[in-house]
Amino acid sequence: MDISVIGINHDTAPTTIREKASFTSSQKVELLNELLDCGIEEVAILATCNRSEIYIAHSKKDTNSHIKIVKEYYKSKILVEGYERYLFVKKGREAVEHLFCVTAGLKSVVIGEDQILGQVKEAITTSMEIGASKKILNKVFREAITTAKEIKKELKISEKPLSVSYIGIKYLEKNMGNLTGKKALMIGFGEMGKLALNHLLEEGVENIYIANRNIKKIYDEFPKHNVVKPIDFDSRYEIIKDVDMIICSTSAPHKVLKCEDMPIVNRNIYILDMAMPTDVDNKIGELENVFLYDIDDLKEMSKRNLEERKKLSRVAGKIISKEIIEFYEWLEIIKIDPIIKEINDVCKEVEVDTLNYINRKIDLDCREKKIIEKMLSSALKRVIRNPVLKLKEEKNDEKVENYMEMLDYLFDLKMGS
């Protein structure tokens, strides 16, 4: 068994392409089931505003055919000629290293951002809940998450406020000059929106109107707040003429700000669209007095982190390399698990038959039965212990295959049938 990843991210495709390949929650579940039905053993989908990545676990002989299945899915989503130039494909150790680096935030637009760790956890949890992720992906995702926590602790990444939301607010501040005393409209109140709100409050924004379909959620968190003002979602257009900036971060599959519904604004208004797919109609950016920015615009500010990226990567790379070696050592060992289980089952069958025979022939009390059962079980384990240990220690793949075939034949296990 091995692992591959096929996907699109901020390095391979612009926003317009990435949003075509984005997923709603129901689409993720539907695709997980579709890929399982196609014969792929294990699947997990990591979908964020900056990436759409499908991880698969498969037998090595099925690598290319299973990758082709996933690529065909992206082809149907993107619907652009030459779609493959936007895709990346990584196999084996390269795929595992990619997952570890992504989870640690080393491949994010803003290096070390914390949000991706939660998104990776959500991806594997969703997959596990519907049975799409099993022994291999469960293990590699668990190790990637554990390693990411270790890296963040050692490199103190979490102490640096470098989330996409933070960069976005700083980007607005750079273009607007100052946020103190300004008025903002926030559309959406998910995790990214909450982070943006905290940064706006820190910058001294005077009024923050929040339009969310679940307005009770905002009232529950801010029952009485001088700055935060919940409004009905349908009232979002009415408040635009009174604010200096708009921050969008919904998970809607459609536009939540349409050009034809925009009011005329007589002063500069700055719009930051952090959603994927994007919340704001591109035509709005062409209106007079309107300045529209999306996630791709934040890349320029992230260049300042280049030197930090190199420094972190050197330390993190050593940690990740060690964990990948251990993961592949585990992967080598578990491939002989099925035959070991079959041999143990044969031993158990012999043990049960022998104990039944002894009990029929000899009248034993409970204590004597337990002693004989323990001795018999121990003796059978001694018989197979050395062969199993040698099989686990063998590094030559060809020899391992030959030994497994021999054991299959000698014990009549019928593993290949």
* Residue 66: both structure tokens together: 């299973």
Half-sphere exposure of 82 (CA within 13 A, CB side): 2
Q: What is the CA radius of gyration of the chain?
A: 28
Distance CA 296, CA 182 (A): 24
Residue 266 vs residues 182, 244, 271, 273: alpha-carbon distances, Å? 16, 11, 15, 21
The separation between CA 11 and the C-alpha centre of its own chain, rounded to angstroms, equals 17
Q: Is the peptide bond between 263 and the residue preceding it cis, with omega within 30 degrees of 0?
A: no
* Residue 359: both structure tokens together: 């009990």
Distance CA 23, CA 252 (A): 10
Closest Cα to residue 48, out of 1, 115, 100, 2? 115
Catalytic residue, chosen from 49, 101, 248, 347, is 49
**Angle between the 337-361 and 397-410 helix axes, to the nearest 10 degrees?**
30
Backbone angles phi, psi at 169, to 5 degrees: -70, -40
Distance CA 95, CA 102 (A): 11
Computed from CA positions of residues 176, 178, 180, 186, in that sequence, does the dihedral angle turn out positive or negative? Answer: positive
Active site residue 248: no
Which residues are known to be catalytic? 49
